[in-house]
Structure 1
Amino acid sequence: MNQHLATVNTLAITPDNQTLISGSSDNKIKLWKLQTGELRHTLKGHSTAISAIAIHPDGKIIASSSQDGIINLWNIETGELLETLSGFSPLAFSADGKMLISGGKGGTIKIWRQVQSSDNLSLTGEWWEILGVEPKTHPQDVKLAYLRLARLYHPDINSSVSAKTAMQAINEAYQKFQQQLKTHN
């Protein structure tokens, strides 16, 4: 199993013990048949090193995060990219599969919730959790975090339903930040 071109940073095994998943500094994720070592899929979609992988409890979805703050959700059978979110490692799915938790910048944690299994993930939490900053972050840095997220979820770049929902949550979070700024000044 030496198909990666750089350091392997993270590993995971599907709940059925059939597939080993490896994420590497070569920006690729590889899916292997665990028993034989045969390469099943190579997932390409990250532009920087893979830092974490989590597998949904149903074994059908992989979440991967890269060092540039992008989380991708993949269909494990087809290798199709399902959704793109914003966040860092570590990554974990809740036992019931309804939440994906990710690291954020500056010591924050992001919680993505699925209302029902057919729904896409939506971002919930306080404004600073949604924007991935600390509550006391300098306003200019909050604005930069907002702009980075806005680029990721802009309808011209990301046309998924979850991107539209995320953009709404991000806009609301930034508005709450601006309101708080006015009341404290």
Structure 2
Amino acid sequence: MDWKCVHNLTGHTASVNTFAIALQGNILASGSDDKTVSLWDLNTGKHIFTFFGLLNGVFAVAFSPRSSLLVSGDLDKTIATWNLDTKVVRSLCNSDSAYNHCSYIFSLAFTPDGETLASGSADKTIKIWDIPRWVSTRTLTGHTDAVWSVAIAPDGKTLVSASADKTIRIWPLKSWENPRILTGHSGWVTSVAISRNGKIIASGSADKTIKLWHLATGKLLCTLTGHSAAVWSLAFSPDGKNIVSSSKKEVNLWHIGSAELIQTLSGCNPVAFSPDGKTLVTGGDGFTIKIWRQSFAVSESAIVPKLSGEWWQVLGVDKLASPQEVKIAYRRLIKQYHPDINHSVNAKDMMQAINEAYAKFEQES
């Protein structure tokens, strides 16, 4: 399954640093060094609205899961809240507040109920905000360098933070005490993401790698290599099968189960998946934003497998093919005949024959 760029959004006049997509899936928010936050229709690529009035570049945006509220964090140490219905802006914190961060705000994350917001900052702290009361309730300390990224698990019980101190911390949201500390990266940990099932943490680093960790135990599962520069942004696909990672030079798509690189796209950080997983948003060239969609077309040269016969005949490989060659053939056929991709009348029968053949191969190998 390949991805094709369908829209190239223009309008920002400086680097685009951050994305957020509303849970409804049709509104994209982008924050930029041009001191604005823009809203876009994800389906059509059309510009909806631009929020002005910030004093510095925007490094973080997040939609509330339960209300028409958008928050942004900038290099002026300010968290602003934007009402999507009225377009009214309100400051959650500013330089005059004793509860404010004292340096740049790099990351924002809501709990699933939208009641609590976490913010990560260059001041080495994470602040917890009570949104209904518009107050800061707690400051988490322990990192010894800038907190680049924060993420909250889908069940709302765990917060994960990534820091320039080369560590990841896993905080229990109820007690806030004794965070588990994960080490292994040799450079800044610049980004973290949590899978939708809440089982896996992904971390991206200036060491050009992505590491996958088991959230409950902190065990390192695998390390993905292939980027040519620091990894600045990460996102899990909603189905949990893939992860997208980006640097300032490329965007890579990975299969989590096999830890294999699936595709490299001509984009850059940041990155975000739509809630249905069918749309991918990346940075582009010249302050632009790229919208990618899955390509479902089957080429004229598509392999037509047999519906019956020995497994190697159905998969179209030699009987003595290596396991790797068989796996490649199987994945190629899936891309062509999976019913979500191929809507022809015989796709379901083809897919059943392909899966049965591969199952026989696994039994014999």
**TM-score of the aligned structures, taking structure 2 as reference length:** 0.33
Alignment partner of 1:63 out of 202, 209, 213: 202
- 26, 42, 51: which one pairs with 2:165? 26
Task: Write the distance in 1 (CA, Å) between the matches of 2:158 and 2:201.
Answer: 11
In proportion to residue count, which structure has more helix? 1
Q: Cα RMSD (Å) of the superposition?
A: 2.2
- Structure 1 unmatched ranges of 5 or more: 130-164, 170-185
1:53-96 Cα deviation digits (max 9, x unpaired) = 01111101000011121111001111111000124121000111
Alignment of 1:38-117 (within 5 A): 38-86=177-225, 87=227, 88-106=231-249, 108-114=250-256
User: What's the CA shift for 1:39?
Assistant: 2.6
Number of corresponding residues: 126
Deviating 4+ runs (over 4 angstroms): 126-129
Larger radius of gyration: 2
Change (3 A) 1:35 1:105: same
Trace 1:146-161 onto structure 2 (pairs within 5 A): none
Can you give the 5+ residue segments of structure 2 that lack an aligned partner in the other structure?
1-139, 268-323, 329-365
Partners of 1:9 and 1:89 in 2: how far apart?
A: 9
Shift of residue 104, structure 1, vs aligned partner? 3.7
Counterpart Cα distance in 1 of 2:186 and 2:264: 29
The percent identity for this pair of structures is 39
User: Residue 123 of structure 1 aligns with which residue?
Assistant: 261
SS at match of 1:16: coil
Contact 2:253 2:264 in 1 (8 A): no
1:45 Cα offset (Å): 0.5
CA distance in 2, matches of 1:23, 1:47: 13
**Which has the larger strand fraction?**
2
1:124-157 deviation digits (Å, cap 9, x = unpaired): 126989xxxxxxxxxxxxxxxxxxxxxxxxxxxx
Q: Distance in 1 between matches of 2:264 and 2:205?
A: 24
Query: Judging changes above 3 Å, is the alpha-carbon distance between structure 1 residues 90 and 127 closer, same or farther for their aligned structure 2 residues?
Result: closer
